[in-house]
Amino acid sequence: MPNINGSLVGFPGLQARALKGTFIEQDGDNTFSGTNTFSGVNTFSGANTFSSTLTATGVTQVNTLKVGASGTLGAFNAFPATSARGSFKFLAANSTGDTVTTLTHAAQSGTAIYTIPDAGTSDFVMALGTQTVAGVKTFSGANIHSATNTFTGTVKFGQSGTAGLAELYPTTASKGKTTFTMSDNSTDTTTNINVALQAGARTYTVPDAGASASFAMTEGAQTFNGAKTIPALTTTALTFAAGATIDGDTGIASCSSNACTISKMAGIVTTESLNTAASASQAIVITNTTVAAGDIILTQLMGGTNTTTNIHIVAVATTNTITATIYNDVLITTALNGTVIFSFLVIKA
């Protein structure tokens, strides 16, 4: 860049100052008014203010570029290579105070291109602040939401052929997490978990079942383990639909020396051949590790080879033992004359 002052030697002072105002100082500060067009390679290292229209058709490097001024709206327009194909404009809106908004990028590990899709009238999604994000958004990586997010549309975790996972964490660090996952269905069907109308605020708690378990459902066959206490049944009937059954944890045993072992909640016992006299009784001792003193033992005669009628059974539970006493209620001299088969059901106290 030539020395402007040296080039104006010989001009009268007033004329030199007027001419100097028409030159650009490459290394100084310049103010451009009116319409300015720069072609070729241009480098401006000072602070340059454009108060009107600037058109740069070549490579123009400006260290500090001010478009407009305080109180005067400025706009920066970028055009594509094809004519009449729109433009990209940077505009500034009024801030609450006389503050500076800086748009910068973090250190990049390589050359990167960030593309703004056609989203209609929209805002960038920011890492801070409250925003409403509309439209369909697909996140293919792991996403962590540390604040409260409101989703008014559909949130999808994964997609067909790609498994999705939702993780929930408690407030205390290193205290576990809850995950929601999905297994393959038999066909391409949707499983819907629906919340029915609630009459008030509710909290439904998943207890520690002590092992992997399933939720109890109103339909389908299931097996329940562990003790289940239903307090409401003290005032509400437990109703079984027509054709419903109760399948007990049942064992079967035949006695030897008037004793047997069935460590089940229900059982079927076959005695040895009995010859208990009229108005007498015979005790059958059943070892059962599921019972304790005070448990209720329900019994039912089921048959056997004995043909003497008018007998009944009284069963009493003690620790690990059921004593079932068979009474021959015949008042005359008719003894029992064969085996007796009976069943029992344990109801825990």
Residue 11 has pLDDT above 70, yes or no: no
- 292 located within any domain: yes
Q: How confident is the model at residue 63 (pLDDT cuts 50, 70, 90)?
A: low
Which has more pLDDT, 117 or 312? 312
- 5 located within any domain: no
Which secondary structure element, helix H or strand E, spans residue 6, and what is its range?
A: helix 4-7
Q: Tell me how far apart the alpha carbons of residues 153 and 195 are, in angstroms, rounded to a whole number.
A: 17
- 191 located within any domain: no
- 25 located within any domain: no
Q: Is-contact 169 177, C-beta < 8 A?
A: yes
- 203 located within any domain: no
Q: What is the 3-state secondary structure (H, E, C) of 48-97?
A: EEECCCEEECCEEEEEEEEECECCECCEEEECCCCCCCCCEEEECCCCCC
Note down the domain range covering 332: 250-347
Last residue within a domain, chosen from 46, 76, 91: 91
Which has more pLDDT, 223 or 213? 213
Q: pLDDT over 70 for what percent of the chain?
A: 79
Last residue within a domain, chosen from 91, 114, 140: 91
Question: What pTM, to 2 d.p., does this model score?
Answer: 0.47
Assign residue 305 the CATH number of its domain: 2.60.40
- 116 located within any domain: no
What is the average per-residue pLDDT within 105-134?
Answer: 86
- 152 located within any domain: no
172 alpha-carbon distance from chain centroid: 18
Residue 121 has pLDDT above 90, yes or no: no
- 242 located within any domain: no
Domain total for the chain? 2
DSSP 138-172: ---S-----S----SS----SBTTB---EEE--SS
pLDDT in tens, 219-250: 888 888 877 776 665 666 777 778 877 777 89
Coil, strand or helix at 174 = coil
pLDDT in tens, 247-270: 778 999 999 999 999 999 999 999
Q: How confident is the model at residue 5 (pLDDT cuts 50, 70, 90)?
A: very low
Last residue within a domain, chosen from 91, 124, 142: 91
